[in-house]
Chains A and B, each alone.
Chain A
């Protein structure tokens, strides 16, 4: 029997992780870079966009009426230099699988975002950051080269030194400069599969920022969980968790997972289908936050944790986005530059005052960014999940956008699903340069996504 032609896509209704705004596209599953090239060259008027594990919250990996290429089949390892910690992998490999592969050799992904279910291609397209951003920058900082397939199917090698403009436009370029099929990464050397974690509670936002400013540089990893429902003197009360990879001599034999280093997150729970809207309501979250805050140690030093439990606590629940019910959720992630702490405080105040059911809010300090549309700038980044069903959410978030833009900050495109397009230029001053480079790479406008249509980026956009 003949295998189905590569050209035959499967009509599929796609959404991002937030499960909002579904659109229909023809989903293709190329098995290698050659098929990617073929599918791009024959994309047609509605264009083409790559997709990984669908962890962008909004519409970045959707292309209504056009082609969507799932890169999950392009996931082979082409080479690993065990001495230097350099690995060349297919763009469809997930960061979790990468960790599993390289940890036994004493290496670790240089940057881990909040979930391990992110592909290398997606990590480059969104230039993702991790808990070590304040010291080691975002994902693309550690990319030595990448293979990019252009809209006509032509393949080029892109490096930060050889093709700096294309590299900087592709890092954080949301897949609109071409399809990354392979990348070579510099890995991080580790001695054990444990993280040594220091935990402390902060009584409010000022206390937290003070602790982070003073102590973050002493830690490779730093992240704070904030209770966005606490008000008054407890506004922004939080739990600060900082750590580093444990050295061999810090882990006693009985604590180590054995001779080999292992990364073995397990999916223990699965969210049930058909959860009604409104489960994660304000009172429920208030109770959760209270319990979480009280349960956390006031001060704890040097606790050894498994890598996955420190980096990806939510990954043990499969499909947790379903807990938000049929209306779905959105994640609001902003960054404001250092010096704009007042704007950050106002955001937290407004969230608390509006009793917004903000879940799992996280605060982190950033270093600089890599690409023209990379999200990170030196400053404070605040992230929270919000149920999309609340009627007053749209004007509330529009107000926060204005505040963030006015303070010289921006929103994260990989999370965005509702930004007012007019604000994009203000938030991303390098947008003009990005447009030039992008237009040079894709003069016919074949690279298209719903995010692009909505915000005016890439092919088919009128802005």
Chain B
């Protein structure tokens, strides 16, 4: 159960390889969280992380195969099985995502589809059964990792941005639909985060780290927030950018 100050006892990560998700899980285990399920495309790569989490105090750590892009696969069955075996899950962290390669993706239908499949279709396919289980258990937090890039599509990464925009819109709607159910949806919108995924890219202004995003996310979960910006200043930057006219926006070096 989530307690009065926002600590949770169990977490399921969809996209356990995500550095932001893992930073969040580490911070959770340093608190009250004792049950961790990491669902990832390559669970075998998470064994070291799992041992670290156990050493840090988690009593149950499970790694399980989950490929967001392969949504023909029974996501619902996987989710049901995890909820059945672990009892209530207080927090689901939907973090699976790929950045893709914009220069290729915008010319290659299959490559663009792969990005959208993972980031949007795949997560929607796995989030819906999680929301159903949380509705039935009468409580829980669904935390969806979006990005500021979903706020307004930019020329430089619109394939990724549009997939996240879809996810972001879906999560907002789901959150509204779940009001009064005891389940809260938090949309996290980080800016440029220094991770393996962004290695080699020029960092945008207001760049941040997975640990900082994790901290802001946990604070948002405790607060019962519906949106978390990391860093918080991005909220204001994006609210300006959102209203810049297209002809001007097009010329911005973004």
Interface residues of A (CB under 8 A from B): 13, 18, 20-25, 46, 58-59, 63-66, 327-328, 330, 388-389, 391, 393-394, 397, 417-418, 420-421, 450, 453-454, 460, 462
Contacts of B88 in A (CB 8 A): 64, 453
User: Which residues, 163 to 205 on B, are CB-close (under 8 Å) to A?
Assistant: 180-182
Q: Does B48 contact A (CB under 8 A)?
A: no
> Which of A13, A59, A389, A462 is B1 in contact with, Cβ under 8 Å?
A59
Q: Bound state CA distance, A460 and B88, in angstroms?
A: 9
Q: Bound state CA distance, A56 and B2, in angstroms?
A: 17
Report 30 cross-chain contacts, Cβ distance below 8 Å, ordered by A residue.
A13-B180, A13-B182, A18-B4, A20-B4, A20-B5, A21-B1, A21-B2, A21-B139, A22-B182, A23-B1, A23-B138, A24-B139, A25-B138, A63-B138, A64-B137, A65-B137, A66-B138, A388-B4, A394-B5, A397-B5, A417-B3, A417-B5, A418-B5, A421-B9, A450-B1, A450-B139, A453-B88, A454-B1, A454-B9, A462-B87
Residue from B1, B7, B32, B182 whose CB has the most chain A CB atoms within 10 Å: B1
A391-B219, A394-B31 are contacts. A454–B3 as well, Cβ < 8 Å?
yes
Q: Bound state CA distance, A87 and B5, in angstroms?
A: 41
Interface residues of B (CB under 8 A from A): 1-7, 9, 31-32, 87-88, 136-139, 180-182, 219, 223
| Distance (whole angstroms) from the CB of A367 to the closest CB of chain B | 29
Contacts of A462 in B (CB 8 A): 87
Main secondary structure of the interface of B (DSSP, over half): loop
Q: Bound state CA distance, A318 and B223, in angstroms?
A: 26
Whether the pair B219, A64 counts as a contact (CB closer than 8 A) is no
Q: Bound state CA distance, A418 and B31, in angstroms?
A: 11
Main secondary structure of the interface of A (DSSP, over half): loop
Q: Bound state CA distance, A454 and B2, in angstroms?
A: 8
Contacts of A397 in B (CB 8 A): 5
| Distance (whole angstroms) from the CB of B136 to the closest CB of chain A | 6
A13-B182, A64-B182, A394-B31 are contacts. A21–B3 as well, Cβ < 8 Å?
yes
Q: Bound state CA distance, A462 and B87, in angstroms?
A: 9
Whether the pair A64, B139 counts as a contact (CB closer than 8 A) is yes
Contacts of B32 in A (CB 8 A): 420-421
A24-B139, A460-B87 are contacts. A418–B4 as well, Cβ < 8 Å?
yes
Q: Please, which residue of chain B has its CB at the minimum distance from the CB of A326?
A: B224
Contacts of A450 in B (CB 8 A): 1, 139
Whether the pair B138, A388 counts as a contact (CB closer than 8 A) is no
Whether the pair B138, A328 counts as a contact (CB closer than 8 A) is no
Contacts of A418 in B (CB 8 A): 3-5, 7
Contacts of A22 in B (CB 8 A): 139, 182
What 4 A-B pairs are tightest by C-beta distance, nearest first? Answer: A417-B4, A65-B138, A64-B138, A20-B4
Contacts of A391 in B (CB 8 A): 219
Q: Please, which residue of chain B has its CB at the minimum distance from the CB of A57?
A: B4
Contacts of B1 in A (CB 8 A): 21, 23, 59, 64, 450, 453-454
Q: Please, which residue of chain B has its CB at the minimum distance from the CB of A19?
A: B4
| Distance (whole angstroms) from the CB of B12 to the closest CB of chain A | 16
Contacts of A421 in B (CB 8 A): 9, 32
Contacts of A420 in B (CB 8 A): 32
Q: Bound state CA distance, A395 and B15, in angstroms?
A: 29
Q: Bound state CA distance, A397 and B9, in angstroms?
A: 17
Q: Bound state CA distance, A291 and B137, in angstroms?
A: 47
Whether the pair A23, B139 counts as a contact (CB closer than 8 A) is yes
Q: Bound state CA distance, A417 and B9, in angstroms?
A: 13
Q: Bound state CA distance, A46 and B7, in angstroms?
A: 22
Q: Bound state CA distance, A25 and B181, in angstroms?
A: 9
Q: Bound state CA distance, A24 and B223, in angstroms?
A: 18
Q: Bound state CA distance, A393 and B136, in angstroms?
A: 31
Whether the pair B4, A65 counts as a contact (CB closer than 8 A) is no
Add 15 more A-B contacts to A394-B31, A420-B32 (CB < 8 A): A18-B4, A21-B4, A23-B138, A24-B138, A25-B138, A46-B137, A59-B1, A66-B138, A330-B4, A388-B4, A394-B6, A417-B5, A418-B3, A453-B88, A460-B87
